[in-house]
Chain A
Amino acid sequence: MTTTTKAPQPDLLVREPGPQELDPARTHRRRRTLEISLAVAVPAVLLLLWQLAAVQGWIDDRIYPAPQTILEDGVERAAAGELWPDVWATLKRVLAGYAVGTVSGYALGLLMGSLSLVRAALEPLLDALYVVPKLALLPIFLNMFGLGEGPQIALVAATVFFFVWISTMAAVLAVPTGHRDAGQVFGATPWQMFRHVLLPASLPAVLVGARIAAGVAVLVIVASESIAADEGLGHLIFDSRALFQNDIMFVGIVCVAVLGVLFSELVRLVGRLLTPWAPRDHGRGQS
Chain B
Amino acid sequence: MGDDPHPTPPPKLHATRLTRAFGRGSKRVDALGPVELDVAPGEFTCIVGPSGCGKSTLLRIAAGLLRPSSGRLEIRTDSARPAAMIFQDYGIYDWKTVLANVRFGLDIQRVPRKEADARAHALLARMGLADFAQAYPSALSGGMQQRVAIARALAVEPEILLMDEPFAALDAQLRTILQDELLELTQATRTTTLFITHSLEEAIVLGDRVLVMSSRPGRIIAERRPPFARPRTGDIRDSPEFTALKGELWELLRGEVRPEVVPV
Q: Which residues of A contact B (CB under 8 A)?
A: 1-4, 6-7, 10-18, 20-21, 24-25, 28
Q: Is the CB of B66 within 8 A of A13?
A: no
CB neighbors of A among B75-119 (8 A): 75-82
Q: How many residues of B contact A (CB 8 A)?
A: 25
The CA-CA distance from A25 to B79 in the complex, in Å, is: 33
Q: Is the CB of A16 within 8 A of B78?
A: no
Taking a contact as CB atoms closer than 8 A, the residue among A6, A15, A20 that contacts B62 in the complex is A15
Q: How many A-B residue pairs have CB under 8 A?
A: 64
Other A-B contacts than A15-B62, A25-B25, 16 sampled, CB-CB below 8 A, are A2-B64, A3-B65, A3-B66, A3-B67, A4-B81, A13-B77, A13-B80, A15-B67, A15-B68, A17-B67, A17-B70, A17-B72, A21-B67, A21-B68, A24-B21, A28-B24
Q: Which 10 A-B pairs have the closest CB atoms?
A: A13-B75, A16-B72, A15-B73, A3-B67, A21-B69, A3-B64, A24-B24, A18-B67, A21-B67, A25-B24
The CA-CA distance from A14 to B64 in the complex, in Å, is: 9
Q: Is the CB of A17 within 8 A of B68?
A: yes
Q: Is the CB of B64 within 8 A of A4?
A: yes
- Of chain B, the residue at the smallest CB distance from A25 is B24
Given A4-B80, A6-B80, are A14 and B74 also a contact pair (CB < 8 Å)?
Answer: yes
User: Which chain B residues border A12 with CB–CB below 8 Å?
Assistant: 74-77
Expressed in whole angstroms, the minimum distance between the Cβ of B1 and any Cβ of chain A is: 20
Q: Is the CB of B81 within 8 A of A7?
A: no
Expressed in whole angstroms, the minimum distance between the Cβ of B53 and any Cβ of chain A is: 19
- Of chain A, the residue at the smallest CB distance from B82 is A13
Taking a contact as CB atoms closer than 8 A, the residue among A6, A11, A15 that contacts B61 in the complex is A15
Taking a contact as CB atoms closer than 8 A, the residue among A2, A11, A17, A24 that contacts B77 in the complex is A11
Taking a contact as CB atoms closer than 8 A, the residue among B66, B74, B82 that contacts A7 in the complex is B74
The CA-CA distance from A182 to B20 in the complex, in Å, is: 40
* 9 A-B contacts (beta carbon < 8 Å): A3-B65, A3-B66, A11-B77, A12-B74, A12-B77, A17-B68, A17-B70, A21-B68, A24-B24
User: Which chain B residues border A7 with CB–CB below 8 Å?
Assistant: 74
Q: Is the CB of A14 within 8 A of B67?
A: no
The CA-CA distance from A7 to B77 in the complex, in Å, is: 11
User: Which chain B residues border A18 with CB–CB below 8 Å?
Assistant: 67
Taking a contact as CB atoms closer than 8 A, the residue among B65, B68, B76, B80 that contacts A16 in the complex is B68
User: Which chain B residues border A20 with CB–CB below 8 Å?
Assistant: 67
Expressed in whole angstroms, the minimum distance between the Cβ of A32 and any Cβ of chain B is: 11
Q: Which residues of B contact A (CB under 8 A)?
A: 20-21, 24-25, 61-62, 64-82
The CA-CA distance from A17 to B18 in the complex, in Å, is: 10
User: Which chain B residues border A4 with CB–CB below 8 Å?
Assistant: 64, 80-81
Expressed in whole angstroms, the minimum distance between the Cβ of A26 and any Cβ of chain B is: 10
Q: Is the CB of B73 within 8 A of A14?
A: yes
User: Which chain B residues border A1 with CB–CB below 8 Å?
Assistant: 65-67
User: Which chain A residues border B70 with CB–CB below 8 Å?
Assistant: 17, 21
The CA-CA distance from A12 to B77 in the complex, in Å, is: 5
Expressed in whole angstroms, the minimum distance between the Cβ of B79 and any Cβ of chain A is: 8
Q: Is the CB of B76 within 8 A of A11?
A: yes
Q: Is the CB of A16 within 8 A of B25?
A: no
Expressed in whole angstroms, the minimum distance between the Cβ of A25 and any Cβ of chain B is: 5
The CA-CA distance from A203 to B20 in the complex, in Å, is: 37
Q: Is the CB of B77 within 8 A of A16?
A: no
- Of chain A, the residue at the smallest CB distance from B23 is A24
- Of chain A, the residue at the smallest CB distance from B80 is A4
The CA-CA distance from A18 to B66 in the complex, in Å, is: 10
User: Which chain B residues border A10 with CB–CB below 8 Å?
Assistant: 78
The CA-CA distance from A28 to B25 in the complex, in Å, is: 11
The CA-CA distance from A3 to B64 in the complex, in Å, is: 5
Given A11-B78, A21-B67, are A16 and B73 also a contact pair (CB < 8 Å)?
Answer: yes
The CA-CA distance from A1 to B69 in the complex, in Å, is: 15
- Of chain A, the residue at the smallest CB distance from B70 is A17
User: Which chain A residues border B82 with CB–CB below 8 Å?
Assistant: 13
The CA-CA distance from A6 to B76 in the complex, in Å, is: 11
Expressed in whole angstroms, the minimum distance between the Cβ of B184 and any Cβ of chain A is: 29
Expressed in whole angstroms, the minimum distance between the Cβ of A283 and any Cβ of chain B is: 23
Expressed in whole angstroms, the minimum distance between the Cβ of B231 and any Cβ of chain A is: 30
The CA-CA distance from A1 to B82 in the complex, in Å, is: 17
Interface centre among B24, B25, B65, B79 (most CB of A within 10 A): B24
User: Which chain B residues border A13 with CB–CB below 8 Å?
Assistant: 74-77, 79-80, 82
The CA-CA distance from A232 to B12 in the complex, in Å, is: 74
Expressed in whole angstroms, the minimum distance between the Cβ of B11 and any Cβ of chain A is: 11
User: Which chain A residues border B77 with CB–CB below 8 Å?
Assistant: 11-13
The CA-CA distance from A6 to B77 in the complex, in Å, is: 10
- Of chain B, the residue at the smallest CB distance from A7 is B74
The CA-CA distance from A274 to B76 in the complex, in Å, is: 54
The CA-CA distance from A263 to B216 in the complex, in Å, is: 45
- Of chain A, the residue at the smallest CB distance from B159 is A13
The CA-CA distance from A20 to B23 in the complex, in Å, is: 11
User: Which chain A residues border B72 with CB–CB below 8 Å?
Assistant: 14-17
The CA-CA distance from A20 to B24 in the complex, in Å, is: 11
The CA-CA distance from A125 to B200 in the complex, in Å, is: 59
